Structures are given as structure tokens and as C-alpha cells.
């Protein structure tokens, strides 16, 4: 779907950016927070496109999890926001507002010095050079998983791919070598983050009243097994150090030293960031390539080639796994003709910005050609975010795409049930296929 850009966008509004600081804020839908939340989660792209048509490139949503949430789709403001952490904005505080379980001392939920040192601690283990050494093991894991998927009957591709990615993460990135711990940790992570179906709103947490207390309890219960297994993995590594560069090694060798509790706390947030987006990306790619066998052939022939790269870019443009980037402003920020106030939580939605006809002509059509040749699109494109908060797992995501996707396509004949790609729905901060991509798989 392609909503035209509003003519309202160019009409000057009484905003502080041109009036020296009045209290007027960008407009937004009048509906109450519950109905805004449900509508946004059911059809994020349609809902955001409708608001942009109505209010222009900058508007205000009131969601159950975030009131108000300023949505910015104006290209220059999006670029500025991408680069705003840590001096002008913080990502961790904004993420914790929506995902109250993210730890303020982690890469994902931390800010300032806490964020910088947490990121530095795991940088070596997440580097392209180290991740690339794991490619053949990724192929083995993908092969084993895909050969066990059901034959002939429909199944949810996203759930299967998620389990596969969990195992890659536990064995190859965390570096859990003990077989028993690796198996039970992978299972426990799957149970912890599994949500039954696709709830129309994200789970509440601390600070969300009674529902939040219940959400927090439920999450703590689900966490128990993961905490126990992570603890065992840390003890195991302390007792038997390894020369391999992996996340467990980086954590137990950290200086100043970290206790088990601190390590578990950081790893929990890393797991939350690491689980969903790569499995969603792989699932959409598999869906696209299952529908276009000739493209699949070219992708598998050269998964690190220019054409495969263009397929990945175009898939992540139309189906970005993360719904955008979030920042909490540390100083007022201009966005179009608005001046957003200090403390505002701002979302730059990739869903919408990636379909902006000013940057991507004929934005709703899948065209790998726009990434080939000399003239790449010039406006914001940010499936992995940007600036100091750009995704730390990007090399891992690319290695998974380039190893797991061809392995599956060469082994199984995927046949998505829905005649058209499933609609995207919002779950917490990610966008998932509505029915988790129901598919059949032949031999
Ligand atoms: C295709 C797969 C993936 C996509 C599309 C994706 C997307 C993103 C996005 C949009 C952000 C926010 C960036 C920002 O705010 O500017 C992010 C952050 C993050 N991602 Fe990923 N991600 C993917 C895979 C992974 C993997 C495999 C890991 C594993 C470790 C991971 C770990 C993280 C972490 C820890 C952060 C926080 C980084 C920081 O704030 O410094 N991601 N990711």
C-alpha cells in the first residue's frame, strides 16, 4: 500500500520551531490510547501511513506503552535522529519505556557510559572477522533443523527459524560448548520469548499498573530457566576457560570483573535484542525467494554477491524486522516545522520511511534493481538503525542470511500457504508476519 504524502506537510503550523518556543506539539489521532494501540499493532504500516496522510511527516501517537510517542518521518529529521545518541538523545531510556525488561546496564537498554562499556565488552565477539569463522557451523545447524521440519503439513516458519537462530546464538555466539547446557538453554530461550499467537498489544511490564505487575511476574517466571542455564554456562566457562573469542569469554574476562548476576543481567537483554529480528529477516527472505524461484537460484548461486545483497536490501526495506529507531531527547529537536521538547520519546518508523516515494520511487513494489548500479537511493534507509546505536549484531545477521537461507532453500521446497505475502503486525518493537508465515515444505 502506498499512501500519498499529505499536502498538509508543507503547510506552516504554529510550532515552536518557527515561533520561538510555544508549547504546541504535533497533532495526532483523537482516539483513546487503547484503540490507537490496537489499531497500530494490527496494521502498523496502514495505520502510520494514514496518520501521515492526515497530519504530515511529524505526528503524535498515544499508546498504552508510550504517551505521547512522537513519530518522525521527515527525511532530514530522521537522519538527524539516527545520529543523535549519546549527545542529543538516548536510545536505552526510550527502549526501556517500551520494553521495561531491558536492563539499563546492557548494550540494548543502557545509555552513556553504561552503554559504551557494555558494547565494548562484547565488540570482539560480534565482529565480522570472528563471526565469519562460524559460517560452516551455521550451515550444519541449519541443515539439521530444516531436515526435521514437517513434511506435507503446514507449519509456522517463523517459529522454526527462531529456534534455529537461538541455537546458532547459544552455541556459536555465546559459545556454550557443554552439550546439555546448550540444549536446555536453547529450549529455555524459546519458551521465555514465545508469545502465544500475535497479541494486538505488547506485554505490559514494571510501571504499567496491575497489568504491568502481572506481566512482570509472568516474565520473571519464564526467565527462571534461562537464568539458571546461563548461570551454569558462566560457571562452566570459569572452570574451563577457552581461547575462542565469544560472548561468554568476553564477559568472564571483563575488566573490571563482573559477577555472575551482572553477566546474566546483560545477557538477558542481549538475548531479547538478538532473537527476533534475525529470525524475522530470514523468514521474510525465505518467503520472497520461495515465491520467486529464479531469484532464489541466483541468490543461492552467490549468496555474498551483488544480486543477493540487493535482494536482502529490498526485502529489509519493505519488511524491516525492527519497526524503527527510538530515542529519548536530551535536548529539544527540530523535526520539520516542529520543535520536539526535551524528554520526548521519538520514533523514526522504518516501515513508513522505507516507503517514502521521495527516496524510493514506486515504493510498494519489490524492485531489486534499485540497489544495483551506480545510483543507490539517497534518502534514509536504516533496517539496522544508525550512529552509536547501530545494531551490534549486523555481521551475525548477514552471516546467518548468507548461510542459512541457501541451506534451507537447497534442502526444502518451501510453499507459503498465503497467496500473497502475509501482512506485517507489530509485536513490541518488531514487525512479524501475521500468521508467523504459515508454509508447507516439500523435500
Ligand atoms: C536482520 C537482523 C537484525 C535487524 C534488522 C536488527 C535491527 C536492529 C535495529 C533497528 C536496532 C536499533 C538500532 C538503533 O536504535 O539505531 C538494533 C539494535 C541492536 N541489535 Fe539488532 N538487528 C538484527 C540482528 C541482531 C542480532 C543477530 C543481534 C545479536 C546480538 C542483535 C543485537 C542488537 C543489539 C544488542 C542492539 C542494541 C545496540 C546498541 O544500542 O548499541 N541484532 N538492531
Q: What are the mean pLDDT values of the chain's consecutive 10-residue runs (443 residues total)? A: 35 44 79 95 97 97 91 97 98 92 94 97 97 98 97 94 96 97 95 60 58 69 91 97 94 96 95 92 98 97 98 98 97 96 97 97 96 91 98 98 98 95 92 95 83
pLDDT of residue 241: 92
281 ligand 1 Cβ < 6 A? yes
**How far is the centre of ligand 1, averaged over its atoms, from the C-alpha of 304 (Å)?**
21
Architecture of domain 7-442: Orthogonal Bundle (1.10)
CA 339 to chain CA mean position, Å? 28
Which of 90, 71, 47 lies closest to 346 in space, CA to CA? 71
Which atom of ligand 1 is the closest one to the Cα of 106?
35
Q: Ligand 1: distance of its center to the CA of 251 in Å?
A: 19
141 phi, psi to nearest 5 deg: -65, -45
CA distance 338 to 340: 6
Ligand 1 atom 18: residue of nearest CA: 391
Cβ–ligand 1 contact at 347 (below 6 Å): no
Q: Whose CA is nearest to atom 40 of ligand 1?
A: 389
CA distances to 109, 274, 324, 381 from 95, in Å: 6, 15, 11, 20
CA of 104 relative to ligand 1 center, distance in Å: 16
pLDDT value at residue 202: 55
Minimal-distance CA residue to ligand 1 atom 8: 384
Give the pLDDT score at 212: 65
Q: Is the CB of 405 under 6 A from ligand 1?
A: no
Q: Is 385 in the pocket of ligand 1 (CB under 6 A)?
A: yes
**Which residue's alpha carbon is nearest to atom 20 within ligand 1?**
391
Ligand 1 neighbourhood includes 346 CB (under 6 angstroms): no
Nearest atom (ligand 1) to Cα of 108: 37
Distance CA 126, CA 118 (A): 12
Contact 277 CB / ligand 1 (< 6 Å)? yes
Q: How far is the CA of 319 from the centre of ligand 1 (A)?
A: 15
Distance CA 389, CA 142 (A): 29
Nearest to 357 by CA among 396, 317, 397, 326: 317
Q: Is 168 in the pocket of ligand 1 (CB under 6 A)?
A: no
Q: What is the pLDDT of residue 20?
A: 45
Give distance in angstroms: CA of 315 to centre of ligand 1: 17
109: Cβ below 6 Å to ligand 1?
A: no
Spatial neighbors of 338 by CB under 8 A, at least 6 apart, are 13, 15, 16, 17, 25, 26, 58
Of 405, 357, 359, 406, give the one whose Cα is nearest residue 382. Answer: 359
Q: Tell me the pTM.
A: 0.92
Question: Which among 393, 396, 397, 432 is the best mutation to test ligand 1's pocket, defined by most ligand atoms within 8 Å of the CB?
Answer: 393
- Return d(Cα 314, Cα 308) in angstroms, integer: 10
Centre of ligand 1 to C-alpha 394, Å, is 7
Instruction: Give pLDDT, residue 200.
Output: 46
**What is the pLDDT at residue 99?**
84
Protein residue with least CA distance to atom 41, ligand 1: 389
pLDDT value of position 12 = 39
Q: Cα separation of 357 and 363, whole Å?
A: 6
386 C-beta closer than 6 A to ligand 1: yes
Amino acid at each position: 500500500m502506498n499512501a500519498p504524502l499529505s499536502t498538509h506537510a508543507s503547510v506552516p503550523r504554529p510550532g515552536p520551531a518557527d515561533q520561538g518556543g510555544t508549547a504546541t506539539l504535533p497533532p495526532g489521532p483523537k482516539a483513546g490510547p487503547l484503540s490507537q494501540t490496537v489499531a497500530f499493532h494490527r496494521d502498523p504500516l496502514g495505520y502510520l501511513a494514514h496518520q501521515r496522510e492526515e497530519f504530515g511527516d511529524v505526528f503524535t501517537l498515544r499508546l498504552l506503552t508510550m504517551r505521547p510517542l512522537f513519530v518522525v518521518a521527515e527525511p532530514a529529521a530522521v537522519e538527524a535522529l539516527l545520529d543523535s545518541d549519546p549527545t542529543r538523545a538516548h536510545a536505552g531510556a526510550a527502549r526501556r519505556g517500551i520494553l521495561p525488561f531491558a536492563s539499563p546496564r546492557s548494550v540494548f537498554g543502557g545509555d552513556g557510559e553504561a552503554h559504551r562499556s557494555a558494547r565494548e565488552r562484547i565488540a570482539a565477539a560480534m565482529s565480522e572477522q570472528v563471526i565469519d569463522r562460524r559460517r560452516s557451523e551455521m550451515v550444519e545447524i541449519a541443515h539439521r533443523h530444516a531436515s526435521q521440519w514437517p513434511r506435507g503439513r503446514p507449519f509456522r516458519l517463523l517459529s522454526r527459524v527462531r529456534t534455529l537462530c537461538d541455537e546458532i546464538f547459544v552455541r556459536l555466539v555465546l559459545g556454550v560448548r557443554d552439550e546439555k547446557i546448550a540444549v536446555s538453554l536453547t529450549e529455555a530461550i524459546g519458551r521465555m520469548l514465545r508469545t502465544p499467537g500475535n497479541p494486538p498489544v505488547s506485554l505490559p511490564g514494571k510501571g504499567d499498573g496491575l497489568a504491568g505487575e502481572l506481566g512482570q511476574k509472568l516474565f520473571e517466571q519464564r526467565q527462571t530457566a534461562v537464568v539458571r542455564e546461563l548461570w551454569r554456562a558462566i560457571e562452566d566457562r570459569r572452570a574451563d576457560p577457552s581461547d575462542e573469542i565469544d560472548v561468554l569469554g568476553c564477559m568472564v574476562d571483563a575488566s573490571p570483573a563482573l559477577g555472575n548476576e551482572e553477566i546474566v543481567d546483560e545477557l538477558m537483554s542481549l538475548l531479547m535484542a538478538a532473537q527476533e529480528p534475525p529470525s524475522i529477516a530470514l523468514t521474510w527472505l525465505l518467503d520472497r525467494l520461495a515465491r520467486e524461484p529464479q531469484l532464489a537460484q541466483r541468490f543461492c548461486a552467490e549468496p555474498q554477491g551483488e544480486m543477493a545483497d540487493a535482494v536482502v536490501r529490498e526485502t529489509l526495506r519493505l519488511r524491516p524486522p525492527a519497526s524503527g529507531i527510538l530515542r529519548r531527547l536530551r535536548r529539544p529537536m527540530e523535526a520539520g516545522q516542529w520543535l520536539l521538547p526535551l524528554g520526548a520519546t521519538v520514533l523514526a518508523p522504518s516501515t513508513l520511511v522505507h516507503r517514502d516515494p521521495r527516496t524510493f520511487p514506486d515504493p510498494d513494489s519489490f524492485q531489486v534493481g534499485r540497489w544495483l548500479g551506480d545510483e543507490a537511493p539517497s534518502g534514509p534507509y536504516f533496517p539496522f538503525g544508525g550512529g552509536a546505536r547501530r545494531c551490534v549484531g549486523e555481521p551475525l545477521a548477514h552471516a546467518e542470511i548468507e548461510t542459512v537461507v541457501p541451506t534451507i532453500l537447497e534442502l526444502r521446497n518451501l510453499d507459503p500457504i498465503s497467496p500473497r505475502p502475509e501482512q506485517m503486525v507489530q509485536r513490541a518493537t518488531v514487525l512479524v508476519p501475521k500468521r508467523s508465515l504459515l508454509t508447507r515444505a516439500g523435500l
